[in-house]
Chains A and B, each alone.
Chain A
Amino acid sequence: MRNINRRGFLKTGITGAAGIVALSPSLMAASSSEKEQEILYRTLGKTGMKIPVISFGVMRADNPNLCKAAYENGIKLFDTANGYQNGNNETMLGNLLKNYPRESFYLATKVKSAGVDREGKPSEQTTSEDFLEKFNTSLSRLQMDYVDILYIHDVRNPEFLEYKPIINTVKKLKKEGKAKFIGFSTHANEPLVIDAAASMDTFDVILTAYNFKQTYINELKAAVKKANQAGIGIIAMKTLAGGGFLDKERTKPINSTAALKWVLSNNDITTTIPGMTDFDQLDLNVKILADISITDDEKKDLTIAQAETGIYCTGCMKCLQQCPVNLPVPDLMRAYMYAYGYSNPAMAYSLLGELGTGDNPCSDCNACTVECTRNFNVKEKITDISRLVNVPADFLT
């Protein structure tokens, strides 16, 4: 304490309360009413909800002040999930949002069904009771009587859309008013799942992965359009193509503004839910709230990013018909990924053994006829990885 009296904690910001705010021009540029006029809103399908084009994917945010700043800058839809941070994310949001009028924001959460396998098929564990228990826990954490949108989390198989124990449960929750609108999120087989949902009269909203790197973007656009025409509101996630970096070392950041604007150039998308963890990101996204026009530089950045390939096969399967000797190219690319991506040559070795393609399966071809959608040099990668079968297994453990 002696120290503090003499010199500690004596230096206050020279601009007092304006300290950091003064360095955040986007927050100081206009009064809130002026900003509201500038903000671009779109209507979320038949729900009638008018939502700014940028919303908030809260999943990683641990600082309520970040969400508060977003709210005060005009962002109105906050997206979380029952499972994010094992529930801590919903708790944090609930503690914050209870301070605001309930009708002044929208809240979306997701509940994952138990026992769904990798193909997205339900099992005996996929029950209404489990889903309801999780949803009620979410409401309790959020300190709310209802959520605006309740998503079934991670639907990747159209068959699941007919799975009565869960579908009837979300319908019931909507009828009871605990969920104003219902939908699902999807980030695998999106075109198929969305197309199927568009032919049903069950869902109000779909939250889909949507970004400039998706190899099946044309199919996805068509499905999104069909759903939109059926009155289903579409919200985009994973707009930065997975984590915001082009490489797994996280050294090549994606131009996030360009990526978001690209998504919003499709009028069938109502809003996006970029994840934000710092005020710089928030500032960038707040600017997009009022301006979604893509500059030439941003277009250039997207072109460069699209050209990046890397080592990760997307499993589009388009190569299967192209190889003259019918090699299982996606599986061989997976082996390559195990070795170089996961640093697990033992796993690659095991897969190569199962495939039985030998140590040089491309030896009969002078030139490769496979045109990879990710521009992989397929022959080079297959030749490289196949040599692994000659390495004694003991060396790989």
Chain B
Amino acid sequence: MFFGSVFAQDLTLPELKGFKKALNYPVFGPDNLWDFIDGAAENYLAYGFVDLHVAEYKKGKNVIKLEVYRHKDNVMAFGIYSTERSPSFRFINLGSQGYDADGSINFFKGDYYVKIRTYSKSEKILNSEESLAREVAGMIPGDSKMPAVLSQFPDEGKKKNEETYINESVLGHKFLNGAYKASYQVGPDNFSIYIMISNTAEEARKTIDAYLSASGMESNDVAGGKYVLTDGYNGTIFLAWKENKVVIISGLSKDQTNIADKYTSEILK
């Protein structure tokens, strides 16, 4: 059929009481997103960007702009959201997670990353902005839970709201893709933990092999293992895997094996 392979994704953006909704923008796709957010588009494309719906709500001189970004899946939506999140923002209960910062309300839910912005300082307009955010969060399909893998990061020393998902080139290496990252401070030590979940144990092993091979090492382990290596770019790396799960720790020195092992063992238990 002529349109058999074309899948419509209609999204009717809500009305906002007292405001006039204007749809002055086309639905943006991967090839013209740059027209809307210029160079920042590349980051969205790296997180499986699908399309963007934009609406403006006007009341006198005041404007509230709504941007609804759809990504390939929930992990990608969390990924792009997490690259733009700062722990210093005021977090609010919205979608899976959201925050309010200087007239911006951003949140993610399901496959969507939603950004709402006004330059108005009026309390009434800011309240309307929040109402709009809640309306959009209610209408967007999908789960309101955070990605399940995040719960595997040990709590001790974990910095709040700094978890991210890196889709490509983890630690700047092309052979490492798709990692959840959390930042830690334990005493004077700052380090990062990455968790990568592969589809199979064989895939996880390939990831390990790629890193070890780049370090001039080989693995004979068939079901798991722990290693420490020196990455010329990123310093000491603790690398471990079990079945389909890979854990990487960076930021510790070679003599801090006990810390690395404690965290690794908890994640791989």
Contacts and interface: CB of A to CB of B under 8 A. Distances in A.
Interface of A: 1, 3-4, 7-24, 27, 57, 59-60, 62-63, 65-66, 69, 81, 83-88, 91, 114-115, 117-118, 124-125, 130, 153-154, 185, 187-188, 237-238, 242-243, 248, 250, 275, 277-280, 282, 310, 312, 334, 337-347, 387-388, 391, 396-397
A275 B172 contact: no
Given A3-B265, A65-B234, A84-B39, 20 more contacts: A9-B257, A11-B227, A12-B228, A13-B216, A13-B217, A57-B39, A60-B46, A81-B40, A85-B83, A85-B84, A86-B85, A187-B38, A248-B30, A278-B172, A279-B174, A312-B31, A338-B27, A341-B31, A343-B7, A347-B26
Contact of A343 (B6, B34, B42, B168): B6
B261 A346 contact: no
A59 B215 contact: no
Cβ-closest 8 pairs across A and B = A21-B232, A86-B84, A8-B226, A278-B169, A4-B261, A19-B215, A20-B232, A342-B29
Given A21-B232, A27-B232, A62-B166, A88 B172 contact: no
Contacts of B228: 9-12
B231 interface: yes
B25 A118 contact: yes
A13 B229 contact: yes
A7 B261 CA distance: 11
A385 to B, nearest CB: 10
B243 interface: no
A37 to B, nearest CB: 23
A57 B41 CA distance: 13
15 contacts: A9-B228, A9-B238, A12-B229, A20-B233, A60-B46, A84-B39, A84-B43, A85-B40, A130-B119, A243-B42, A250-B45, A278-B172, A337-B29, A343-B9, A344-B10
Nearest to B12: A397
B43 A9 contact: no
B24 interface: yes
A185 B85 CA distance: 25
A334 B35 CA distance: 14
* B interface majority secondary structure: mixed
A279 B173 contact: yes
A62 B46 CA distance: 13
Contacts of B264: 8
Contacts of B230: 12-13, 16-20
Interface of B: 2-3, 6-10, 24-27, 29-32, 34-35, 37-43, 45-46, 51, 61, 63, 83-86, 106, 119, 164, 166, 168-169, 171-174, 214-217, 225-235, 238, 240, 254, 257-258, 260-262, 264-265
Nearest to A14: B216
A306 to B, nearest CB: 17
Contacts of A8: 225-226, 240, 257, 261, 264
A17 B229 CA distance: 8
B227 A9 contact: yes
B262 A87 contact: no
Given A248-B30, A277-B172, A3 B261 contact: yes
Contact of A185 (B25, B38, B172, B232): B38
A237 B39 contact: yes
A391 B261 contact: no
A172 to B, nearest CB: 21
Contacts of B83: 62, 85-86, 88
A99 B75 CA distance: 34
B32 A115 contact: no
Contacts of B10: 344, 346, 397
Contacts of B25: 118
Interface hub of B169, B228, B234 (most chain A Cβ within 10 A) = B169
B60 to A, nearest CB: 10
Given A11-B217, A277-B169, A279-B172, A345 B8 contact: yes
Contacts of B63: 115, 125
A60 B43 contact: yes
A151 to B, nearest CB: 11
Contact of A344 (B39, B51, B173, B217): B51
A334 B174 CA distance: 35
